Amino acid sequence: LDNNKHALPKPRFVRVNTLKIGTEIAILELEKVAKVRKDDVVPDLLMLPGGADLHKHRLVLDGSLFLQGKASSMVAVALCPKPGWKVLDACAAPGNKTSHLAALMQGKGKIVACEINKSRIKHLEDTIRRSGAHNVQVIHRDFLDIKADDPTFSEVRAILLDPSCSGSGISAERLDHLLPSYSADHGTTANDQRMEKLATFQKNALAHALSFPAVERVVYSTCSIHRAENENVVEAVLPLATSHGFKLATPFPQWPRRGLPVFEGAHHLLRTDPSEDTEGFFIALFVKSAESRPQPR
């Protein structure tokens, strides 16, 4: 029996691309097709009833609006890059968060969008073109191969790291990949191994992000509900983060759902739950203390 048969569909979230359109004008346009409310947590995010299909809406097609979930829209806001900064989006395709960064920076400064997968680069470039951002450089690179002391990146002040993950927070179908499938010869499952591989990459990538000399803010996010890809990753890099002068900060302090209490400081972490209006997401924010930052010459 489907217990949710009478449940209302989850609301649909729409992020206004403030590089192209003002939020009030977007509301007036959207009110022609559905009831619109401003989200109470993320600026320039609008909430519409679940049934509203906006895929072919003129403002979506021309990049004035992005169909982006609430939790996904919290990530760039948590990073809070200042207009004029140089920012690195380490794992960027398809570019929803890159374009959000560009809007938050009001088109000022520079964003480098790094993506390893050639076939996803085109999608990333399309998203950026549609967003109207003119200060984004796309690079086809393995983030782990970028040297932290490469002069091109010596002025990067903030890094958004949204690496490949199991996707277990996004939909029930993707959870299927995580159901046990015991291999005959080992006691571990194929999915345990996949998760271990992902977590190893996530830890390496986060440690790498924290090692760039001028970086003072790093956001790590996943659309996973698994502790192995979330709290455990943060806990593993904490000693290194501390040695570089970083502390965990509290993104969206008013948000009630925090990290699983598995280490001291996990209350700084943010979780969203797929059972609520959001996808299942995880956000950690590292901030370097002023005295640990390079002094201006």
Contact 257, 270 (CB under 8 A): yes
Q: For residue 209, state whether it binds ligand SAM (rule: CB under 6 A).
A: no
Of 141-149, 179-187, 208-216, 260-268, which part binds ligand SAM (CB under 6 A)? 141-149
Q: For residue 49, state whether it binds ligand SAM (rule: CB under 6 A).
A: no
Q: Tell me how far apart the alpha carbons of residues 297 and 294 are, in angstroms, rounded to a whole number.
A: 9
230 is in an annotated binding site: no
Residue 95 vs 169, nearer CB to ligand SAM: 95
Q: Tell me how far apart the alpha carbons of residues 258 and 264 are, in angstroms, rounded to a whole number.
A: 13
Q: Which of 108, 220, 243, 109 is nearest to 165 (CA)?
A: 220
126 is in an annotated binding site: no
Of 45-53, 115-123, 178-186, 289-297, which part binds ligand SAM (CB under 6 A)? 115-123
Q: How buried is residue 244: exposed, middle or buried, by Cβ count under 10 Å (0-12/13-18/19+)?
A: middle
What is the full DSSP assignment across 128-156? HHHHT-SSEEEEE--GGGS-TT-GGGTTE
Q: For residue 120, state whether it binds ligand SAM (rule: CB under 6 A).
A: yes
Q: How buried is residue 280: exposed, middle or buried, by Cβ count under 10 Å (0-12/13-18/19+)?
A: buried
Q: Which of 227, 221, 235, 233 is nearest to 279 (CA)?
A: 221
Residues of this chain, 144-163, that bind ligand SAM according to CB under 6 A? 144, 162-163
What is the nearest approach in angstroms of ligand SAM to the Cβ of residue 183? 25
Residue 164 vs 242, nearer CB to ligand SAM: 164
Is 114 designated active site? no
96 is in an annotated binding site: yes
Q: Tell me how far apart the alpha carbons of residues 108 and 37 are, in angstroms, rounded to a whole number.
A: 29
94 is in an annotated binding site: yes
What is the nearest approach in angstroms of ligand SAM to the Cβ of residue 61? 18
Q: For residue 142, state whether it binds ligand SAM (rule: CB under 6 A).
A: yes
Q: For residue 94, state whether it binds ligand SAM (rule: CB under 6 A).
A: yes
Q: Tell me how far apart the alpha carbons of residues 208 and 202 are, in angstroms, rounded to a whole number.
A: 10
For ligand SAM, which residue has the nearest CB? 91
Q: For residue 74, state whether it binds ligand SAM (rule: CB under 6 A).
A: no
Q: For residue 169, state whether it binds ligand SAM (rule: CB under 6 A).
A: no
92 is in an annotated binding site: yes
Residue 97 vs 288, nearer CB to ligand SAM: 97
Q: How far is CA 162 from CA 58, 71, 221, in A?
A: 29, 12, 5
Q: For residue 164, state whether it binds ligand SAM (rule: CB under 6 A).
A: yes
Q: For residue 92, state whether it binds ligand SAM (rule: CB under 6 A).
A: yes
Q: Give the length of the chain.
A: 297
- Which residues of this protein are in contact with ligand SAM, per CB under 6 A? 91-97, 114-117, 120, 142-144, 162-164
Numbered residues of the known binding site for S-adenosyl-L-methionine: 91-97, 115, 142, 162
